[in-house]
Amino acid sequence: MTTLMQKLSDRSAEVVVIGAGYVGLPLAVETAKAGYHTTTYDRDRSKVESVNAGRSYIADVSSDLLESLVNSNKLSASAEPSVLAKADVVIICVPTPLNKTKDPDNSFVLDAATLLLPHMHAQQLIVLESTTFPGFTREVLLPKLSSTGLALDRDFFLAFSPERVDPGNPKFHTHNTPKVLGAVSEAGLEVAMTLYRSFIETLVPVTSSDAAEMVKLLENTFRAVNIGLVNEIAIMCGRLGLDTWEIIAAAGSKPFGFMPFYPGPGLGGHCIPIDPLYLSWKLKTLKYNARFIQLADEVNSSMPDHVVERVSEALNGRSKAVRGARILICGVTYKRDVDDVRESPALDIIEDLTKRGALVAYHDNHVPRLEHNNTILHNQPLDQVSEFDCVVITTDHSDVDYRALVEKARLVVDTRNATKAIRGVFAERIVLL
């Protein structure tokens, strides 16, 4: 332990981050900035080439910063597993999606661990940042790593620290977002704290890796359940002929006991639609039914269908069928001002409208080309908005002039309250979620 702690303290430790995506690359940048020689390992050779050329493909990492770290020999990338042999610290940042039955798919983490096994050696810290269910680090990952014959706390240390990446957030980034840390032993927590305090402003240690895993799931379950509630409120308000956003804004004036959440066309991204179901799955193994989670998932998953129905109703109100209608989807990323389309509800809306016979196009300057279900679409300019029968605002990017869009459009279905400032002027052509 002394050798590893000394290397962490004097920044001579070699860090390898497995996974160079939205979580892994920003993290690798921070460890490199802190003075550790850092290597990002990824099987995607295009990512490896981009990192080594100093070209960032992550919006939250500037190419200038990436290039300076590469040129100073603090950061590099590799697609060769042999780089793990020199690692004093290995941080696993790989996807943990759901399979087709909405059960946890930890295969990427297990593949990373399998990749690591032949390169493990004494005095190593291994940290998992990929979201998983409570108990995974201790019950699944620890036995796999121990199969090498190396012993916990004598040869290696194991911790879990959930990522808290919020793409596009102008205020909070990796270094200034408080970091939760848990480990499978007290010694492991001490070692992990030594590493992370060198590049994270605020650390939040918890008593175990299980607790840290649960923290992550609570954070995103809280959001998913509350978004599910407000999505159902939006459906209710539609039936009652009320403006959902007016109701939320008025309720938000209460200085206590209310926290505003906002409806939308569905959940997207790599966390909120997925993480609560990890917790639900784990509880099923303990014969407990996580009813709030399941209900929220049911409501949130149904929102793309609800949007399509609203589009159909709006077109019918103008004596126009969905079949044969020209529809422009405005915004296809899962949130505003990012280029990430993972789990974006816009994809389901496009697919459903297309199945109903609509001629669907999209506008999103963050996504020049969209490939989904063997169909390729390209970003359309907004200067031809008047040629479409309906525009559906599914992502409220800040680079869109919504007044100009509504002035030219025949009909707008607004799922994001993007037209709030002009709704009174163009009420006859705007339909809310």
Catalytic residue among 93, 271, 330, 390: 271
Contact 17, 182 (CB under 8 A): no
Provide DSSP, 217-233.
HHHHHHHHHHHHHHHHH
| Other beta carbons less than 10 A from residue 75's beta carbon | 28
Q: Give the single-character DSSP code of 251.
A: H
Torsion of CA 124, 129, 130, 134, to 10 degrees: 90
Report the candidate in 198, 199, 130 with the shortest Cα–Cα distance to residue 165: 130
| Residue type at position 49 | E
Residue written as tokens 């917790």?
Answer: 279
CA distance 94 to 128: 9
For residues 364 and 381, give the distance between their C-alpha atoms in angstroms, rounded to a whole number: 9
- Helices 244-251 and 209-240, packing angle to 10 deg: 120
Using CA atoms, how far residue 417 sits from 65, 140, 248, 305, in Å, is 36, 44, 12, 18
For 432, list phi and psi in degrees, rounded to 5: -90, 165
C-alpha angle 326-328-332 in degrees, rounded to nearest 5: 145
Does residue 271 have an active-site annotation?
Answer: yes
Show which residues are catalytic.
271
